[in-house]
Each structure stands twice: as structure tokens, then as C-alpha cells.
Amino acid sequence: MEKRKLHYMLVGEEWIDKVPASINCRLLEHQRTGVQFLYNLFKNNHGGILGDDMGLGKTIQTIAFLAAVFGKDGDFGDSTSLTGNQVGKKGPVLIVCPSSVIQNWENEFSKWSTFSVSIYHGPNRDLILEKVEAHGVEILITSFDTYRIHGTILSEVKWEIIIVDEAHRLKNEKSKLYIACLEIRTRKRYGLTGTIMQNKIMELFNLFDWVVPGCLGTREHFREFYDEPLKHGQRATAPERFVRVADKRKQHLVAVLRKYLLRRTKEETIGHLMMGKEDNVVFCAMSELQKRVYTRMLQLPDVQCLINKDLPCSCGSPLTQVECCKRIVPDGIIWRYLHRDNPDGCDSCPFCMVLPCLVKLQQISNHLELIKPNPRDDPYKQRKDAEFASAVFGTDIDLVGGYTQNDSFMGLSDVKHCGKMRALEKLMLSWISKGDKILLFSYSVRMLDILEKFLIRKGYCFSRLDGSTPTGLRQSLVDDFNSSPSKQVFLISTRAGGLGLNLVSANRVVIFDPNWNPAQDLQAQDRSFRYGQKQHVVVFRLLAAGSLEELVYSRQVYKQQLSNIAVSGRMEKRYFEGVQDCKEFQGELFGICNLFRDLSDKLFTSEIIELHEKQGQDDGYCPGRKQDLGKLGMYFVPSTEANETSVTAETSKAKDVESSLTAKPVLSDLGIVYAHRNEDIVNTGPGIQGKQQVGVTQNDGLKKNSCILTTGRRKSDLVGGKENAASSKLRKKSQYSILAQFMNMGDVEFSKWLLSATPAEREKVLRDYKERKD
């Protein structure tokens, strides 16, 4: 038998088998780098995280990596190498993933290589496990739910490698899934995720402590050395010493993570192959009726009990209201429903009402029909919801057709009492007339029902996918939408459709309601903005101005900034006074009182950004200023970008400005009171650069797609940089150097200090320097 032909690549000082040429020839440059990264970890008996942006081919990189591990040739001989149904030298590989992408994994293995693949999911689990134990399976794929239940059985197998897709699911060390994954007896643990950190910095510890146990020290050490300093250093009025400590800890953390993490963005890998994306956050005025209902909700006894929880009790006791007479709320509609079997309350009273009250506020922000009784609920809950609806509608009850759910087609699709739908109606009319295709996301199935009635009334041709859509039907819906010019809108549940869908035929994405977890909204956007997209993608996040949704979005910004700081080492603007999980510094973001603040007479987000600018803390990378609505029209009614395939940034900008001059209707007429681009608020500073430890040569490090954790500013951040005259740059550099010497700092250290200093601190330095100079 002719000796098989090997392909090689250089990793460090040794030559290793490369992936088969049949796979390698189809990989993009950044994907080859990803394979190198994973293989180098494998050779050193380490785990790691492949944290590329969604849509960069993490699945393909993983399959190529496994092909190298198993020594695949990529030809028919691979399928006959399992002599006597035996796997060979390598043990089996376990892949744990969401159930919605199991079929995709199996299809990709079939498309890219020749492995013996089995699915441990469904009624034939025992037979499949016997096959694994008989060494007849190379790759075993199972779902999170199945593994959570049967993880103890699977942990008895001697796995060569375990790979967890959507590895951010391991963020909670107390979850059954996390505990089950700890039982796997292999050091070669790999995670795939485009959203490494979603809510808290401590999630990084849980994830990396599973991948490489002990790499970040103990839990308490991580909390004290990284978590607390980074959060407090990001506070808007943090003292200079806090900011300096945070910067040093950030650099140290990124240096540690770099050993086990490879993260690339679309901008630095395939940006030249795509037309870019704009992520617009649009604040829509609630209807007058919505505002009145929202105010009545805040005045309910249930909510008032939570708002006034820390006030002195009216009985004269030195205790607070929640500690004394207001622990239970017998006259509260929501409280009575929660405690119908326990009139004395529960151990959590009154805080057990927080989540139900928040849900009601979010429903009012989206559509008033959502707070009416749902006919599918049990009779008792329907009666409770009817009582609640009657209370918050008050004298306006007749305007919404009573407190029972409107079953009429025309009633449900009416937009007059919903600020966001009123704006959406006119925006979609403009987009559809230009041939745009739209993805419309909502996390509420009842909201999807209302939006469906709206689309039918307008005569739009649409598809729909939610949790009730059979798994086998989903791909055909996607294929039909992508291939059919007549399909104009895809109505999608954020939870059910946020993963595994490729909808590159759409160039408009609407997030109708924001999620507390920013990753959910980002994953929804990336159904369209991914490899294969040939159009410019514009995203519209619709928020109800003056409602809880503004706070939800502000927390999204806070979480995204912490993620950028901790994972990529970016410098972010310090907008907020609040510090996560710190009662002393709840600021404007955290705590129950902030959740139930009356924001009806203010633009919460806009005021925070404007306050940041007035204090002189703008870091100079990307202006986060409130945009004039007339000029902002370019983002909502673009001219011919859908038909363009290649334009320069300058040409595109010029065309957009031209179209904005004739944009009809004007955004203020749509009920849009404020808007900005999300990328102008977060991702505003450069990240810490450095080569990954994957053994690439020095020359490789000079290539565009070399293995770098982050590449500093995005391309969009550089637009306009040429406008600065060379003389101005030299003058500013000289000023920096003089002031840096005065502060006994290097230029880089002084620049970092300047970006984070308060106006008072800056003025003091200038005043001291002038006095010394005089």
C-alpha cells in the first residue's frame, strides 16, 4: 500500500501532521490560524477557548483540528481505517452543543471529512453508548439537556477530547450542566463561543477554570485581583489610583487569557469581504396611553412597596418599611396572586414581586395587549390579569376595548397605541419599497403573534420561526427565505432563532425588544451579518423611551464594556456611576429603586451620554453624541446600498448624506425622539495587541491575519483620521511628551491616565504645570 501523503505546518520547533489538503484548500487564512491554535494546545495537553465572532467558522476550524488529531487523509481510506469496527489509537471525542445545532454538526462532519459520527440523543442512547464503548465511534454528539441528565454515565467513558459548543453556557458554576462537565476525565477541554463573557466578569473564571483548571488561581483570588478592581476602575468618578490599578490588572488578565484564548472579529478577518454593519439604537416615544398606563403601574401598591422599601416605617419603628409593616402587601394585585396559598407571605417577601413587576413594565413598553389576560392561561391567572389590566388601564379602559384580549384582526394590528409599532410601520414601508429584506426579532411569542397580524394587515410576505417550529422544518424555512425574492420579512423568536440560522439574504435587522443579556441581541444580529453577506447590514434596536427598556439597554452597554475590558483589554468610556454587585455604588443602574424609577419625563440614556461629554471625558476615539434626527435619516432610509457590491467608505458616506436630505418621512414624525449607533458608545478604544502562543513564525506575525487577540481600532474608527494635519499631530505629540515628563510618566502611561482622568484632575495638572512654568 502506497504510503499516505502528509501535509505539514510549522508549530514552534516541531513538524506536525496538518489537516488534509481536501479540507485545508477550503479554509480561510484566519481559520488555518485557528486550527494551529487548537492543535498547539492539544500537543501541550491543554484546553482552550476558540472565541471568534459568530459566523467566522468555529465549527469548520474544529473539524479541521480533529482531522489533524486523528491523522485523516481526507480520502476514502479514512472510512476504511476502522478495521473491525475499531477506532484506532485515539480515544473518542465528545461534542456537547445546543439541540438546535446537533443536525448542523452532523452535516458539517459529513461535508468536510470522514469520521464515524453518532448522536447521543433520543431513544437509542443505550445502543449508541455500547458502540462507543466498543470503540466504534470517533465523534459523539449530544445536547446540553441530554448531557445534563446523563452526564454521569458519559463521564465513565475515557474521552480523548471534549468540545463544548456555545461554551458560555458554562458561566454558572452552580448549574447542573457545569457540574456534569467537571466530571469529564480529560485535560483536553475546548470551548467554542462568540460571546465569552455575557453578564459578569466572574463568568470568565468559571469558563476558564473548567477549560484549564487553576489557570486563573482560586475563585476568591480572581474576584479580589481582577473582578473588583476592573469594575471599580470603570466607575465614572473613580479616583485616579483606582483607574491605574484597573488598567494594570486588565493587562495582566489579558496576558493570562491570551495563552488559552483565541478571539478574532469579523472586521479583522473577513471585513474586506463584507460591506459592514451599523447597529442603531432607536428610542421611540411611547403613545400617550402607554405613558398613562406605565405611570399607573408604578403607583400600584406592589411597586410602591418595592420603591419605598428602605424608608422608615410609618408606625414609628426604627426599622425600614420592608423590615416592619410593609413586608407583605395584602392589597397588592400581584402579591395576592403570588401568595394565594400563603397569606402570611414567603421568606423572600416582598422581593418575590420584583420579577413579575418587571415583566409587566416590559409588556406595557412593547404593546398594551400583552397585559390583558391570555386565554391559554389557567382561569385563576386570567382573573388576576384581568384585575391588573383594569387597575392600570383605569379610565382609559374603553380606549383599548376593555380588559379582555382583543381577538379581532384589525384591533391587534392597530399601531396607534404602540409607539414602537408606529415607528416600525413607516420604516418598513420605506425599506420594502427599496427591495430590502428584514429580520424581525422578539423574545415574546405573544408579541410575535401581534407582529404577525400587523404584517398580514400590511400585505407583506413573511415567514415565522419560534420555539414551536419543528426542528426538521427550520432549515427549509431558512432556505426558502434566502432563495425567494418574494419573501420580505422573517419573524423570529430571539430565543429560538438566535443560534444556528444563516439568513444572509436579509440586510435589515430589527430587534423589537431588548434583552437583559446583550449577547442575545448580538446573536440575533449575526443571523444576517456573517460570512456570505454581500450587502451592507443595518440593525435597528427599538426601545420605548422613558421606560424600563432604557435601563435594560444601559445595562447592556455596561456589560459589553466590562467584556471588552476584561477579554480584549480595551479602554472604554466611563459613563456610569453604578458598580455591579456593589450595594455601596448602585449608581443609576443597579438596585430595585432604579428598576422602578419613573423615567417618563426624561431621556435616561441620552442624559448619561451628554453628562459624560460635559465632564470632558470623551476619549476621542468615537463620538457618542446624540445625533440630529434630520441627519440621522441616512441610517434609516438609505439610497441604493442594497444593490451595491463594492463601494468605498467615502463614497458610501456621501451617498448616505445625500439620501438623508430627501429622506421622507422625517424621523421625528415617526415618533423617534433620540437615536445613536451602538458602536459609538461601546468598543471605543483600542485593545491590547499581542501574538497568540501558537508557534507561528516571526514572518507570520507580520501577516494581516496573524494570530492576534485583538487588532486595536476597528476600520470604522479610522475614518476621518487623515483629516488631521501632520503639523497638528507633531504639536500634540510634543505637548503629550512635556506633560508626561512633568507627571513623571512615560507617553503611553500618561495617555492612559489622560483618557480616564476627571475634568478636575486634568485642570489641576494643567494649573500645576503652568505655575511651575511661570
Helix (H) or strand (E) holding 423: helix 419-433
Name the nearest CA neighbour of 497 among 229, 101, 137.
Answer: 101
- When computed from its CA atoms, the radius of gyration of the chain, rounded to whole angstroms, is 28
Q: Pick from 109, 126, 119, 161: which is nearest to 141 by CA?
A: 119
pLDDT the model gives residue 756:
57
C-alpha cell at 652: 458610501
Q: Which pLDDT score, from 0 to 100, does residue 404 have?
A: 78
- Judged by DSSP in three states, 185 sits in coil
Looking at residue 728, its pLDDT comes to 41
Beta bridge partners of 691: 708
Helix (H, G, I), strand (E, B), or coil: what is residue 262?
Answer: strand
- Separate counts of helices (H) and strands (E) for the chain: 32, 16
What are the Cα distances from residue 448, in Å, to 95, 182, 361, 404, 409?
33, 38, 18, 19, 14
Torsion angle of the four alpha carbons 252, 254, 259, 262, in this order, in degrees rounded to the nearest 10: 180
> What is the per-residue pLDDT for 534?
92
Please state, as a whole number, how many other Cβ atoms lie within 10 Å of the Cβ of residue 185: 10
Q: Which three cell numbers stand for residue 486?
A: 418574494
Task: Supply the mean pLDDT for the chain.
Answer: 82
Helices assigned H by DSSP within 113-239: 125-133, 144-154, 176-182, 202-211, 219-222, 228-233
User: What whole-number distance in Å separates Cα of residue 548 and Cα of residue 361?
Assistant: 7
Closest alpha carbon to 217 in 232, 229, 202, 231: 202
pLDDT of residue 4: 37
**What gap in Å lies between CA 286 and CA 65, rounded to an integer?**
51
Instruction: Provide the grid cell at 259.
Output: 495563552
Residue 580 CB contacts under 8 Å (≥ 6 apart), including other chains: 200, 231, 558, 562, 589, 590
Task: Report the pLDDT value the prediction gives residue 760, as an integer from 0 to 100.
Answer: 67
Instruction: Round to whole Å and give the CA distance between 278 and 382.
Output: 42
pLDDT at 739: 77
3-state secondary structure of 236: coil
Read off the pLDDT of residues 203-257 as tens digits, 9 standing for 90 and up.
999 999 999 999 999 999 999 999 999 999 999 999 999 999 999 999 999 999 9
Residues 159 and 185 sit within 8 Å (Cβ to Cβ): yes
pLDDT at 14: 41
pLDDT the model gives residue 685: 59
For residues 509-542, one letter each, b for 16 or more C-beta atoms within 10 angstroms of the residue's C-beta and e for the rest, the string is bbbbbbbbbbbbbbbbbbbbbbbebebbbbbbbb
Query: Which residues of the chain fall short of a pLDDT of 50?
Result: 1-16, 83-86, 617-665, 689-731
HSE (CB half, 13 Å, CA atoms) of 211?
34
pTM, to two decimals? 0.81
Q: Report residue 80: phi and psi, to 5°.
A: -100, 0
Q: What is the pLDDT of residue 630?
A: 46
**Reduced to 3 states, what is the DSSP secondary structure of residue 282?**
strand
Work out the angle at residue 399's Cα, subtended by the Cα atoms of residues 393 and 404, and round it to the nearest 5 degrees.
65
Burial of 375 (0-12, 13-18, 19+ CB in 10 A): exposed
For the chain, which residues make up each domain, given as ranges?
9-194, 292-412, 725-774
H/E element, 494: helix 494-497
- Which set of grid coordinates corresponds to residue 523? 446573536
3-state SS class at 516: coil
**CA nearest neighbour of 329 among 309, 358, 359:** 309
Which tens digits make up the pLDDT trace of 17-60?
578 888 888 999 999 999 999 999 999 999 999 999 988 999 99
CATH superfamily of 9-194: Tandem AAA-ATPase domain (3.40.50.10810)
Decide if 665 contacts 426 (C-beta within 8 A): yes
From residue 733, give the alpha-carbon distance in Å to each of 721, 737, 747, 757: 15, 6, 9, 18
Residue 72, all three cell numbers: 485523516
DSSP 8-state code for residue 436: -
User: Among residues 624, 622, 632, which one has the least CA distance to residue 721?
Assistant: 622
SS3 674: strand
What pLDDT, on the 0 to 100 scale, is given for residue 646? 35
Please, are residues 289 and 395 in contact by the beta-carbon 8 Å criterion? Answer: no
User: 465: which 3 cell numbers?
Assistant: 420561526
What letter would DSSP give residue 526? T
Of the candidates 53, 42, 47, the residue with the CA atom closest to the CA atom of residue 19: 42
Relative to beta strand 161-165, strand 462-465 is unpaired
Distance CA 501, CA 491 (A): 13
Residue pointed to by grid coordinates 503611553:
748
**Amino acid type, 32:** R
pLDDT digits (tens, 9 = 90+) for 162-175: 999 999 999 999 99
d(CA 303, CA 309): 10
612-664 pLDDT, tens digit per residue, is 776 654 443 344 444 444 444 444 444 333 333 333 333 443 334 333 323 43
CA within 13 Å, CB half, 14: 8
Could you tell me how many residues make up the chain? Answer: 774
Give me the pLDDT at residue 74, please.
64
Phi, psi (deg, nearest 5) at residue 542: -95, 125
Answer yes or no: are the C-beta atoms of 7 and 24 closer than 8 Å: yes
Q: What is the pLDDT of residue 628?
A: 47
